[in-house]
Copies of this chain bind each other. A is one copy, B any other.
Amino acid sequence: MMKREQRETQSRRKNALTREAIIETSIAILDRDGEKGLTFQALSSRLETGAGAIYWHINDKDDLLAAACDAVLHPAIATIVDHESPAHAIRGLASSLFDLLDDHPWIGSTLTRFPTQIAMIRLLEHLGGHIRAVGVHQNQEWAAASTLLMYMLGVGSQNAANAQLAREQALERSHFLDEVASAWSQLSADQYPFVQSNAERMRTHDDRDDFLTGIDFILKGIIAAGIR
């Protein structure tokens, strides 16, 4: 690959900059270096352009983050296949979402920060469709779908925060949770009996299992509320 030669006069880039290219590169940076890694300096240097050029294609950094979030979520949500039952479908959606948030931890906080974005609407729509298929009363369907979504966002944000803290301390994620478990296990058993006695579980537990157990609790509650 040849390096682009320095010209005496200012020259335009040959391969046009596009909004899509900017978003793709942003995603790559976010995945590699986290949310703090995405700066206009890093972005323009990777794209071999000036910082100002990017502003021709995007409004501002929030616009960029929301677009990156949508770009990752949209195909992932669309790919979800049908399931035998609506409850299985919700579980499947939750499961896919968990994996996605695990691979792209920055999505957790981004999705929460821009609630009006299209990705959130599509998520709600999917959840709502399955909720209706379960047969929830009409005046409860919104609360039911919201509860599932809020729970997913809560876990997602938490994963994002853990990933961020682990990155700052330059630790593996598992090692980071180990540190937390150690700290919690040293809490006074008098003051914090519940947390202290469950600290060991932090070391051995599977985030994914816990997440899906939570989904099951909520589903069970929604269905139980419907049939009473």
A residues in contact (CB < 8 Å) with B: 112-116, 121, 124-125, 127-129, 131-132, 140-147, 149-155, 157-158, 161-162, 164-165, 180, 183-184, 187, 191-195, 198, 201, 205, 210, 213-214, 216-222, 224-225
- CB nearest to A201 among chain B residues: B142
Among A142, A151, A154, the one with the most B-chain Cβ atoms within 10 Å of its Cβ is: A154
The answer to whether A116 touches B165, judged by C-beta atoms less than 8 angstroms apart, is yes
| Bound complex: CA A112 to CA B105 (Å) | 14
The answer to whether A194 touches B129, judged by C-beta atoms less than 8 angstroms apart, is yes
Q: A143-B210, A192-B125, A213-B140 are in contact. Are A115 and B158 (CB under 8 A)?
A: yes
The answer to whether B161 touches A112, judged by C-beta atoms less than 8 angstroms apart, is yes
Q: A158-B112, A158-B153 are in contact. Are A217 and B221 (CB under 8 A)?
A: yes
Contacts of A144 in B (CB 8 A): 217
| Bound complex: CA A16 to CA B132 (Å) | 61
Number of copies: 2
- CB nearest to A131 among chain B residues: B194
Contacts of A132 in B (CB 8 A): 194
Contacts of A149 in B (CB 8 A): 154
- CB of A220 to closest CB in B, whole Å: 4
Q: A-B pairs with the 6 shortest C-beta distances?
A: A154-B154, A128-B194, A221-B221, A147-B214, A150-B154, A217-B221
Select A187's contact among B115, B121, B153, B184, beta carbons within 8 Å. Answer: B121
Select A115's contact among B114, B151, B165, B225, beta carbons within 8 Å. Answer: B165
Contacts of A141 in B (CB 8 A): 194, 198
| Bound complex: CA A128 to CA B201 (Å) | 14
Contacts of A152 in B (CB 8 A): 154
Contacts of A195 in B (CB 8 A): 121, 124-125, 128
| Bound complex: CA A165 to CA B113 (Å) | 9
| Bound complex: CA A168 to CA B180 (Å) | 36
Write 16 A-B pairs (CB below 8 A) sorted by A numbering: A114-B165, A115-B158, A115-B162, A125-B194, A128-B195, A129-B193, A129-B194, A131-B194, A143-B214, A144-B217, A149-B154, A151-B218, A153-B158, A154-B157, A217-B222, A221-B224
Contacts of A210 in B (CB 8 A): 142-143, 146
